[in-house]
Amino acid sequence: MSRRKRQAPTEIPTDLAALERELGYTFADPGLLERALTHRSALGQRGPAGEAPPAGRSNERLEFLGDRVLGMVIAERLLQTFPNEAEGELAPRYAALVSAPSLARVAAKCNLATHIHTSQAQRADATDTAVLADACEAIIGALYLDGGLEAADAFIGAHWDTVMRADIAPPKDPKTALQEWAQGRGLPLPSYRVVASEGPPHAPAFVMGVTVEGLGEATGTGRSKRLATASAAAALLRQAQTVSRVQANADAQKKNAGKGKTS
């Protein structure tokens, strides 16, 4: 694919200029950045005939592109970083790096939440993983269209390379990790269910729920049932590990208090 000739940057609003500094890139076409930050909920009501607002006005198409660009760049960087690992070891690394939580962390680091346009009913904040992840992918798509693969690759490298290299051992996928955690404590296997599915055909959003008897329930969001399931499993595992740490600390405090009384 031939790369478009980059035009000279045009004037951009002050708040977006600040975001460009966070991104480390100046857009020749600021409209791409604006669109990348426009959630579909910000486009208002359907038209008089019930038609949806034009898809090109929201960040969904850029998100669609950014998802593919991120996947390609991460896959290539994994091959370069771990030349001796088999596909079975690279796959969980890839899944973790392109997951919604990973994207949301990058979005939070770049302070995207304060710039995303949403409806009043759906405000973007640091806890809205789905909106932040979608916006982050849309930003990658916008970078690709504005500056080619070089611009997108530079952004991805700046925010993913350190995490990639820090994880020496291939991570277990969250679903497997949760199952092993439950089995190791004699608990029943996790049970999954579809909570909701929404969005257009080219950018669906699934919400999956997972329960483990004795641990409670957690939900996760993703563009496929597999990704939403992994997100839910990771959330419940974090929840379970937090409860375990709290319980361990409480037990330690009781033990120390008992020693104090007998001394």
Active-site residue flag, 146: no
Contact 144, 65 (CB under 8 A): yes
Q: Which helix (H) or strand (E) holds 198?
A: strand 191-198
Dist. CA 208–CA 190, nearest whole Å: 12
Dist. CA 67–CA 94, nearest whole Å: 13
| Cα–Cα nearest to 214, from 241, 188, 247, 181 | 188
- Determine the angle formed by the axes of helices 100-109 and 225-262, rounding to 10 degrees: 80
What Cα–Cα distance (Å) separates residue 22 from each residue in 41, 106, 107, 108? Answer: 25, 11, 10, 11
Catalytic residue among 29, 60, 63, 67: 67
Under DSSP, the state recorded for 260 is H
Catalytic residue among 34, 63, 128, 137: 137
Dist. CA 167–CA 89, nearest whole Å: 12
Active-site residue flag, 34: no
Dist. CA 217–CA 38, nearest whole Å: 32
Backbone angles phi, psi at 2, to 5 degrees: -80, 145
Helix, strand, coil % (nearest 5) of the chain? 60, 10, 30
Q: Which residues are marked as active site?
A: 67, 137
